[in-house]
Structure formats: C-alpha cells, structure tokens
Amino acid sequence: MFNIDSIANKFRISYFLFALLLCTTFVSIFMYAEVRIEQELVKARLLQQLELSQEKEGKQTVYTANPGIKIYHYDMAPANLQALATETVQEIPVMVNNQAGNFETNLHFFAYQQNKQAYILTYLEDDEMVMENYPVLAIFEHLEDIFADALKIAVVLSLLIAAIFSHLSAKQITKPLLDLKQAVETDHQNLTELTHLPSEVGVLARAIDEKNHKLEQYLKREQLFTGDVSHELRTPLTIIMGASEVLASQLEDNSRLSEFANRISTTAKETSEIISALLLLSRAPEQLDTPQTSINTIALNEVSRLKYLLRHKPVNCKVVADEDYVAYVRPELLKMALGNLIKNAFQYTDDGEVIVTIDAKKITVSDTGLGVPEAMMPLLYERFERLNEVNTGDQVEGSGLGLSIVQRIMTHMDWQLTHQANKTGGSTFSIYYNK
C-alpha cells in the first residue's frame, strides 16, 4: 500500500514532480518558440506579397494572391478581422469550401501600417499550397512535426527515467535510516557502528545512543531505588506484623484494643502488598508471569477493605457481576489499580451510591460524587493533581497520585483506562482488560 507519509515516497513524488515541471517548462518554451517562428515566417511572406502586389497591380482596396493570401485596406476588411487584428500575427480556425468538400484550417492575419495607410494581411493555411508555393513554411511545418514527436518521446522517457532514478535513489537515501531503525529494534547491537558515520544519520545515531544511555541509567537507578526501599521496608513491616499479632493475642479480652492491633496488622500487610506491586511495576511486562486471577474476588475484597471511608456517609456500594470473571494478570497490580479507583469513588462521594460493575470486557467504577471539572480533564492522570471541593474550594484529602498510578499500571499491563462524566453527576472510570 502506498504510504504518502513515507520519506522514501515523499522523495519519489518530489523527484517525479520536479521532472514533470521541467518537462512542462521545456514544452512551453518549445511551443512559444514554434509560434513565434511561424508568426515571423508568415509575416515576412505576407509583407513580401504586399510589396509585390503593389508593384504589379498598383493601388487596390483588396489584393488577392493565390494561393491563400488576401490583403485588405483596413476599412475593406471583414468586421471580425478589424476587431481582432493587431501588429502581432494571430490565427483563428475557419471552415473552407473546395472541390473536396468542407474542411477546417487556420487563418493567419495581422495589421500593418504603411505610409499612413493601414492594411490587414491574411493567409489561409493549407498543406498543399504551402508545399507548392512557400517552401520555407513547408520545411518549418515538417520540422515542427518532427520536433513535436521528438518532444513527446523525450517527455515520456524523462518521466520514466525520473521514476526509476527516484525509486533507486530513495532506497539509497533511506537505507541508513532503515539500518538505524533495525539497530534500535535489535537492542542497539549495531548502533555503535552507525555512531561513527559522518552523515546526518551518524548524528542521529549518536543522539539516540546518548539518550538511550541516559534512560538506561535512569531506569537502573529507579530499579535499584525500588529494590533497596522494598528490602529495607520488608524487615520492619515483618516485625510490625509479628508484633501486632502477638499484641492482638494478648488483648483478646479487650475488644476495643484488639481491634486497633488487628488494624495495625492489616495495614502492615497492605503496605507489604503495595511494595510488592511497586516492585512488579519496575520490571518489564514480558518478565512477569500472569496467573489466572478472579476479578470478582479482588473487587469484593477492595470494597470491604475500603468500606471504612463510607463511615458516617449515606452512600450505598455494591458489586454487580453476572458470573465470576477472570483475567490473566498479577493480582497485586489489579488490586492496586482497582483499589485506587474505588478509594477515589468513596472519598469523593458524600451522598448516593458507588457501583462496581464487572463484565467480560471491562470493570467500571461509577459514583454519584463530585465528578471531574472540565478544566481538570487535561490533567486527570497527572501526578499530584487533586480535586477541589465545589462549595469551599478546598482540596479533598489525598496525595494526587492515585489515578496516575492506575494509568501507569494500565500501560504496564497493556490495558486501557477511560473516564466518562455521568449525566446525573459523578464519574465512571472503566478498565478494559479483554482486548
């Protein structure tokens, strides 16, 4: 399929258009030269005939010189010729009757001033008359045909050569770019060879190589940081979980204190899961195994875990699903993504309901809360962007990282996250997991 955006095709089209423009220029020059030469030959012949007719016939209002020449005093010329005639030789098509019948030919004419007397000189073009009586014009007409045929052949050959040459040249011009593309796609194995080229491709290869090196260093630092943080946090989290379990076992008789101990243990476990999810995000997607995971179970667990956010709020929440749906995904990542959406819905909804709907293609979290203002839409997935209260203008509690993290997880899993404003207020976020 012909792709107009391709650099090679743009070069081919440009070269072909240049050849076409060049051929048009030469054809125009040839046609102009042909017209001018013909005009000068006709004019010279008619002026010669005017002089001969004056010497032979004296003063006449109309001179007729066969074949095909007629010279009028200006006032005696046909009205259409008087209206059109200038000092430049012109031609108009006319119908002529003869013994062979009617045929169309050209009438050449121009105006001429001689001793205060104006004339209109005309010449009726005819091949037989030209060949017999005006050999110079006959030779010109013959050469004109030859040059016209030669010019047609030259134009066709020029365009053909331009097409072939542009095709071959485009391959040579784009070959270094294709080599660069292949080098980048093959983990830069051949990129070092291209960086030594003195051409623009070498400059581009060096820029890409330098950028890749910086990105590799950045990713390496991020992975090291994530690994170090997770390593350093796991030990204290393990201690906190162990201590909270021991504390809960010793406080069984005090339900109020036991609840706080359990809360500590639960929060420590959730933090450990978050660390695991962040570690997974730092790895390449193709390096992760994706076990079959129950979406319904994770949705129900997240709703139950975050239900405390709806305390003292007249908000109903339910999970709607026709059956138990599954997806091939790391449960830690799905838990973090879905948990952030549900948490936002709970935080920004003061009255109404939050509905989590699961089907074969998507997971939707719909609420009747504050919604997203139109002005904030371009920044919806930006880090540290937070929603303001409609009435007070104060920022709602939160870090502004939730949707940014969800979007990052979606990109990592090659899923899709969309947002739609509800007509009755609130928002609906959809995770498309079955592409």
| CB 334, CB 405: distance < 8 Å | no
Measure the CA–CA gap between 126 and 96, rounded to whole angstroms.
10
DSSP secondary structure letter of residue 87: S
Q: Report if residue 189 sits inside a domain.
A: no
CATH number at residue 245: 1.10.287
Helix (H, G, I), strand (E, B) or coil at 423: coil
Decide which of 128, 159, 190 is a domain's last residue: 159
CA angle 174, 180, 183 (to 5 degrees): 145
* Alpha-carbon 55 to chain mean position: 77
Other beta carbons less than 10 A from residue 295's beta carbon: 23
- Please indicate, yes or no, whether residues 275 and 298 belong to a single structural domain of this protein: no
Q: Of 288, 311, 245, 303, which is closest to residue 414 (Cα–Cα)?
A: 288
Long-range contacts of 259-268 (CB under 8 A, 24+ apart): 264/240, 265/240, 265/241, 268/237, 268/240, 268/241, 268/244
- Please indicate, yes or no, whether residues 86 and 138 belong to a single structural domain of this protein: yes
Sign of CA dihedral 90, 111, 73, 128: negative
- Please indicate, yes or no, whether residues 401 and 294 belong to a single structural domain of this protein: yes
User: What does each of the 435 residues of the chain score in pLDDT, given as a tens digit?
Assistant: 556 666 777 777 887 888 888 888 888 888 888 888 888 888 888 898 889 888 888 888 899 887 788 899 999 999 999 999 999 999 898 887 766 667 788 888 999 998 889 999 998 876 555 445 666 766 777 777 888 888 888 888 888 888 888 777 777 777 776 766 666 666 655 566 566 666 666 677 777 767 777 777 776 766 666 666 666 677 787 788 788 887 778 777 777 777 778 878 877 777 777 777 777 776 667 767 788 999 999 999 999 988 988 988 999 999 999 999 999 988 888 998 999 899 989 988 999 999 999 999 999 999 998 888 776 776 666 654 555 544 444 445 544 567 888 888 888 888 999 988 888 888 999 999 875
- Please indicate, yes or no, whether residues 271 and 374 belong to a single structural domain of this protein: no
Q: Report if residue 171 sits inside a domain.
A: no
Tokens 């391959």 correspond to 171
Decide which of 281, 313, 335 is a domain's last residue: 281
Decide which of 132, 159, 186 is a domain's last residue: 159
DSSP secondary structure letter of residue 389: P
- Please indicate, yes or no, whether residues 272 and 298 belong to a single structural domain of this protein: no
pTM equals: 0.48
Measure the CA–CA gap between 24 and 22, rounded to whole angstroms.
5
Q: Of 66, 140, 51, 146, which is closest to residue 98 (Cα–Cα)?
A: 66
- Please indicate, yes or no, whether residues 135 and 217 belong to a single structural domain of this protein: no
Q: Report if residue 180 sits inside a domain.
A: no
Report the domain count for the chain. Answer: 3
Which residues are paired to 357 by β-bridges?
320, 364
Return the pLDDT at 13.
80
Cα distance from N-terminal residue to C-terminal residue, the chain: 27
- Please indicate, yes or no, whether residues 354 and 390 belong to a single structural domain of this protein: yes
Domain that holds residue 250: 200-281
